A = this chain, B = another copy of it.
Protein backbone atom coordinates (compact mmCIF):
# COMPACT_ATOMS: atom_id res chain seq x y z
CA UNK A 1 0.00 0.00 0.00
CA UNK A 2 1.15 3.52 -0.64
CA UNK A 3 0.45 6.04 2.09
CA UNK A 4 2.56 8.82 0.63
CA UNK A 5 1.34 12.31 1.50
CA UNK A 6 1.81 14.89 -1.24
CA UNK A 7 2.88 18.37 -0.15
CA UNK A 8 0.48 20.98 -1.55
CA UNK A 9 1.95 23.99 0.21
CA UNK A 10 4.65 24.51 2.77
CA UNK A 11 5.47 27.52 4.89
CA UNK A 12 8.53 28.09 7.00
CA UNK A 13 7.63 29.18 10.52
CA UNK A 14 11.05 29.48 12.10
CA UNK A 15 14.69 29.16 11.13
CA UNK A 16 16.82 28.99 14.25
CA UNK A 17 20.41 28.26 15.13
CA UNK A 18 19.65 24.52 15.34
CA UNK A 19 16.13 23.72 14.18
CA UNK A 20 13.79 24.84 11.42
CA UNK A 21 10.03 24.56 11.76
CA UNK A 22 7.67 24.12 8.81
CA UNK A 23 3.97 23.49 8.33
CA UNK A 24 2.99 21.44 5.30
CA UNK A 25 -0.49 21.19 3.81
CA UNK A 26 -0.70 17.62 2.54
CA UNK A 27 -3.02 15.53 0.42
CA UNK A 28 -3.63 12.15 1.99
CA UNK A 29 -3.72 8.85 0.13
CA UNK A 30 -7.54 8.77 0.38
CA UNK A 31 -7.86 12.21 -1.24
CA UNK A 32 -8.41 13.98 2.09
CA UNK A 33 -6.28 16.81 3.42
CA UNK A 34 -4.31 17.47 6.57
CA UNK A 35 -1.52 19.60 8.00
CA UNK A 36 1.82 18.33 9.24
CA UNK A 37 4.05 20.24 11.66
CA UNK A 38 7.68 19.42 10.94
CA UNK A 39 10.86 20.17 12.86
CA UNK A 40 13.99 19.97 10.73
CA UNK A 41 17.18 19.09 12.57
CA UNK A 42 20.73 18.64 11.21
CA UNK A 43 21.05 15.11 12.65
CA UNK A 44 23.36 13.90 15.38
CA UNK A 45 25.71 11.19 16.58
CA UNK A 46 26.00 9.40 19.91
CA UNK A 47 28.80 7.22 21.23
CA UNK A 48 28.75 4.19 23.51
CA UNK A 49 32.37 4.58 24.65
CA UNK A 50 33.66 1.56 26.57
CA UNK A 51 36.96 1.68 28.49
CA UNK A 52 39.39 -1.24 28.73
CA UNK A 53 37.91 -1.88 32.20
CA UNK A 54 34.46 -2.32 30.56
CA UNK A 55 33.20 0.95 31.98
CA UNK A 56 30.93 3.21 29.93
CA UNK A 57 31.52 6.95 29.56
CA UNK A 58 28.45 8.96 30.62
CA UNK A 59 27.86 12.68 30.97
CA UNK A 60 25.74 14.73 33.32
CA UNK A 61 24.31 17.63 31.38
CA UNK A 62 21.56 20.19 31.93
CA UNK A 63 18.91 20.16 29.21
CA UNK A 64 16.86 23.32 29.00
CA UNK A 65 14.01 21.69 27.04
CA UNK A 66 13.25 19.40 29.98
CA UNK A 67 14.70 21.60 32.78
CA UNK A 68 16.66 18.64 34.10
CA UNK A 69 20.21 17.38 34.43
CA UNK A 70 20.32 14.11 32.49
CA UNK A 71 22.69 11.16 32.28
CA UNK A 72 23.63 10.83 28.62
CA UNK A 73 26.19 9.11 26.47
CA UNK A 74 28.42 11.58 24.57
CA UNK A 75 26.64 13.04 21.57
CA UNK A 76 26.57 16.00 19.27
CA UNK A 77 25.05 17.53 16.18
CA UNK A 78 26.32 16.97 12.68
CA UNK A 79 27.87 19.91 10.92
CA UNK A 80 26.75 20.51 7.37
CA UNK A 81 27.70 17.54 5.13
CA UNK A 82 29.80 16.07 7.93
CA UNK A 83 30.47 12.35 7.87
CA UNK A 84 28.80 10.85 10.97
CA UNK A 85 31.88 8.85 12.01
CA UNK A 86 34.12 11.92 11.79
CA UNK A 87 31.52 13.82 13.81
CA UNK A 88 31.43 11.04 16.42
CA UNK A 89 35.24 11.10 16.80
CA UNK A 90 35.17 14.89 17.12
CA UNK A 91 32.33 14.97 19.64
CA UNK A 92 33.78 12.22 21.82
CA UNK A 93 37.08 14.09 22.03
CA UNK A 94 35.48 17.53 22.55
CA UNK A 95 33.04 16.42 25.22
CA UNK A 96 35.11 13.89 27.14
CA UNK A 97 38.74 14.15 26.05
CA UNK A 98 38.72 10.51 24.94
CA UNK A 99 39.97 9.26 21.60
CA UNK A 100 39.28 5.67 20.53
CA UNK A 101 41.16 3.12 18.45
CA UNK A 102 38.20 0.99 17.44
CA UNK A 103 34.89 2.28 16.09
CA UNK A 104 31.79 0.26 15.19
CA UNK A 105 28.45 1.59 13.98
CA UNK A 106 25.63 0.06 16.01
CA UNK A 107 22.56 1.54 14.33
CA UNK A 108 20.92 4.67 13.04
CA UNK A 109 17.42 5.85 13.82
CA UNK A 110 14.96 8.72 13.76
CA UNK A 111 14.50 10.04 17.30
CA UNK A 112 10.86 11.11 16.84
CA UNK A 113 9.64 10.73 13.26
CA UNK A 114 6.09 11.83 14.09
CA UNK A 115 7.21 15.47 13.99
CA UNK A 116 10.97 15.65 13.43
CA UNK A 117 13.47 14.48 10.82
CA UNK A 118 16.31 14.21 13.33
CA UNK A 119 18.41 11.15 12.58
CA UNK A 120 20.91 9.78 15.08
CA UNK A 121 23.92 7.58 14.31
CA UNK A 122 24.97 5.43 17.25
CA UNK A 123 28.56 4.14 17.48
CA UNK A 124 30.49 1.94 19.86
CA UNK A 125 34.04 3.12 20.59
CA UNK A 126 36.73 1.02 22.26
CA UNK A 127 40.45 1.27 22.91
CA UNK A 128 39.97 4.61 24.67
CA UNK A 129 42.78 7.02 25.53
CA UNK A 130 42.18 10.09 27.67
CA UNK A 131 43.43 13.48 26.46
CA UNK A 132 42.08 17.00 26.77
CA UNK A 133 38.44 17.92 26.23
CA UNK A 134 37.36 21.04 24.39
CA UNK A 135 33.73 22.02 25.00
CA UNK A 136 31.65 24.61 23.19
CA UNK A 137 31.36 27.90 25.04
CA UNK A 138 27.78 27.26 26.14
CA UNK A 139 28.27 23.57 26.95
CA UNK A 140 28.85 22.35 30.52
CA UNK A 141 29.14 18.66 31.21
CA UNK A 142 30.58 16.38 33.88
CA UNK A 143 32.22 13.18 32.65
CA UNK A 144 31.92 9.82 34.46
CA UNK A 145 32.92 6.25 33.70
CA UNK A 146 30.46 3.75 35.17
CA UNK A 147 30.74 0.02 35.72
CA UNK A 148 28.14 -2.46 34.55
CA UNK A 149 26.84 -2.72 38.11
CA UNK A 150 26.52 1.06 38.45
CA UNK A 151 24.75 1.23 35.08
CA UNK A 152 22.32 -1.51 36.06
CA UNK A 153 21.47 0.40 39.23
CA UNK A 154 20.82 3.61 37.30
CA UNK A 155 18.61 1.69 34.85
CA UNK A 156 16.66 -0.06 37.60
CA UNK A 157 16.10 3.24 39.39
CA UNK A 158 14.74 4.81 36.19
CA UNK A 159 17.54 7.37 36.18
CA UNK A 160 18.44 6.90 32.51
CA UNK A 161 15.84 9.11 30.86
CA UNK A 162 17.34 9.72 27.45
CA UNK A 163 16.39 7.55 24.47
CA UNK A 164 19.81 7.32 22.80
CA UNK A 165 21.44 6.49 26.15
CA UNK A 166 18.93 3.74 26.89
CA UNK A 167 19.53 2.33 23.43
CA UNK A 168 23.30 2.45 23.83
CA UNK A 169 23.14 0.69 27.19
CA UNK A 170 20.76 -1.98 25.86
CA UNK A 171 23.23 -2.66 23.04
CA UNK A 172 26.01 -2.91 25.64
CA UNK A 173 24.06 -5.47 27.63
CA UNK A 174 22.92 -7.36 24.57
CA UNK A 175 26.36 -7.68 23.10
CA UNK A 176 27.93 -8.81 26.33
CA UNK A 177 25.17 -11.25 27.19
CA UNK A 178 25.25 -12.93 23.81
CA UNK A 179 29.00 -13.18 23.22
Inter-subunit contact B70/A113 (CB<8 Å): yes
| Contacting residues, chain B, for A112 (C-beta < 8 A) | 41, 111-112, 116, 118, 163
Inter-subunit contact A166/B115 (CB<8 Å): no
Which A161-176 residues have a C-beta within 8 angstroms of B?
161-164, 166-167, 170-171, 173-174
In the complex, A142 has a CB within 8 A of chain B: yes
Size of the chain A interface, CB-CB below 8 angstroms: 73
| Contacting residues, chain B, for A70 (C-beta < 8 A) | 110, 113
Using CB atoms, name the residue of chain B closest to A105: B158
In the complex, A149 has a CB within 8 A of chain B: no
Inter-subunit contact A14/B5 (CB<8 Å): no
In the complex, A100 has a CB within 8 A of chain B: no
- Please tell me which one of the listed residues B1, B21, B32, B69 contacts residue A137 in the complex, with CB atoms under 8 A apart: B32
Inter-subunit contact B114/A116 (CB<8 Å): no
A67 to B107, CA, bound (A): 20
Which A87-110 residues have a C-beta within 8 angstroms of B?
107-110
Most buried by B among A107, A111, A114, A118: A114
Inter-subunit contact A138/B28 (CB<8 Å): yes
A48-80 Cβ-contact flags toward B at 8 Å (1 or 0):
000000000000111111101110100101000
In the complex, A38 has a CB within 8 A of chain B: yes
Interface residues of A (CB under 8 A from B): 1, 3-5, 7, 13-14, 16-19, 21, 23-24, 26, 28-30, 32, 34-39, 41, 44, 60-66, 68-70, 72, 75, 77, 107-120, 137-138, 140-142, 158, 160-164, 166-167, 170-171, 173-174, 177-178
7 nearest A-B pairs in the assembled complex, by CB-CB distance: A3-B62, A34-B138, A36-B64, A170-B170, A111-B112, A63-B113, A16-B37
